[in-house]
């Protein structure tokens, strides 16, 4: 399958990742040239700002409702409040601690909703998927990186916080001299780990979202393999009847996987937020 895809790219410069690349245009129907020109902005910039505005409006609306003291009424209010309590009870409190949960709930709840909304945009036809681009996920990871380590510095002070990365090893007898070698080496690894955690946040979100879109593209590409003479495989040559069953199979599979992508969008937002919360908790309460 990968070989056929590579051959197709070579024959007609097929671009399977166009929908996750940034540009100044949103292509509606590429074959007839329908698109929306967003210049001077790019589609990722527009949808990132749109996601931020939607999350900000939702959080301000929910805050006003909760401040009134009235019991929740209506589906939207119950849904938003349920999501907020879920983030607090399942992410913030277990990772950061009940004492500090109220300090980090606004940031972590906004982060979860922001990522979830950007993930959802990519499910709809013609809309971009910002979180399937490494630049976007790296920017999110950089924000998380600063929140994590600023939290640690505010909790302990700069010097003591940096000392938390230096492991304490208790060695006795002649082995204690090994500490002069082991401790600096392990300290370097610990400092590198602080940066690696941000890299993990970035790469895993990017890779998971890109993989989902790639799978959908490959399944839809089955139709091209049997219908388009440019890409046609030997098995499909002279068998026009294959188009209908392959098209039905591909569309049904993509529809089913798109529904699964809704779950994946929430899951990836949850994991990114949960890992960020865990790293904040480790910065505030280091294990050694």
Question: Looking at residue 108, what is its pLDDT?
Answer: 95
Please count the structural domains in the chain. Answer: 1
Question: Looking at residue 241, what is its pLDDT?
Answer: 66
Specify if 118 maps to a domain: yes
Question: Looking at residue 172, what is its pLDDT?
Answer: 61
Specify if 64 maps to a domain: no
Specify if 10 maps to a domain: yes
Question: Looking at residue 116, what is its pLDDT?
Answer: 94
The domain in which residue 248 lies consists of: 2-23+103-284
Q: What is the pLDDT of residues 6-36, one digit of tens each?
A: 555 554 445 556 666 777 777 776 656 677 7
pLDDT < 70 stretches in the chain:
1-20, 29-33, 170-180, 227-241, 288
Specify if 63 maps to a domain: no
Specify if 186 maps to a domain: yes
Specify if 34 maps to a domain: no
Question: Cβ neighbours of residue 140 under 8 Å, at least 6 residues apart?
Answer: 111, 115, 131, 201, 202, 205, 272
Question: Looking at residue 143, what is its pLDDT?
Answer: 95
Question: Residue 100: what are its φ and ψ, rounded to 5°?
Answer: -100, 5
Question: Looking at residue 52, what is its pLDDT?
Answer: 93
Specify if 215 maps to a domain: yes
Structure tokens at 134: 């490494």
Question: Looking at residue 272, what is its pLDDT?
Answer: 95
User: How crowded is residue 210: how many other Cβ atoms within 10 Å of its Cβ?
Assistant: 19
Residue-wise burial string across 87-123, b where 16 or more C-beta atoms lie within 10 A, e elsewhere: bbeebbbebbeeebbeebbebbbbbbbbbbbbbbbbb
Question: Looking at residue 167, what is its pLDDT?
Answer: 76
Tell me the whole-structure pTM to 2 decimals.
0.83
Dist. CA 283–CA 169, nearest whole Å: 20
Contact 226, 242 (CB under 8 A): yes
DSSP annotation of 72: P
Q: What is the pLDDT of residues 158-179, one digit of tens each?
A: 888 888 887 777 666 555 666 6
Specify if 90 maps to a domain: no
Minimal CA–CA distance to 21: which of 51, 43, 50, 38? Answer: 43
């Amino acid at each position: 399958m990968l070989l056929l895809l590579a051959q197709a790219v070579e024959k007609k410069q097929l671009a399977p990742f166009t929908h996750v690349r940034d540009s100044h245009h949103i292509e509606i129907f590429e074959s007839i040239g329908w698109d929306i020109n967003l210049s001077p902005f790019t589609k990722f910039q527009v949808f990132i700002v749109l996601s931020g505005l939607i999350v900000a409006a939702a959080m301000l609306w929910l805050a006003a409702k909760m401040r009134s003291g009235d019991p929740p009424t209506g589906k939207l209010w119950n849904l938003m409040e349920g999501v907020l309590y879920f983030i607090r009870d399942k992410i913030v409190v277990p990772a950061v601690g009940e004492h500090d949960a109220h300090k980090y709930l606004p940031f972590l709840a906004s982060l979860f909703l922001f990522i979830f909304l950007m993930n959802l945009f990519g499910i709809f036809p013609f809309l971009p998927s910002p979180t399937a681009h490494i630049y976007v996920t790296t920017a999110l990871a950089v924000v998380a990186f600063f929140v994590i380590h600023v939290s640690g510095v505010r909790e302990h002070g700069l010097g003591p916080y940096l000392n938390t990365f230096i492991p304490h090893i208790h060695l006795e007898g002649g082995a204690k001299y090994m500490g002069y070698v082991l401790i600096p080496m392990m300290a370097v690894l610990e400092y590198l780990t602080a940066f690696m955690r941000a890299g993990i946040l970035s790469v895993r979100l990017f890779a998971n979202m890109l993989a989902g879109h790639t799978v959908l593209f490959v399944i839809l590409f089955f139709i091209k393999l049997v219908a388009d003479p440019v890409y046609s495989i030997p098995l499909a040559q002279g068998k026009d009847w294959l188009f209908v069953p392959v098209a039905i199979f591909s569309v049904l599979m993509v529809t089913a996987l798109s529904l699964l992508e809704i779950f994946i969008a929430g899951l990836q937002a949850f994991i990114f937020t949960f890992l960020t919360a865990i790293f904040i908790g480790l910065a505030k309460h280091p294990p050694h």
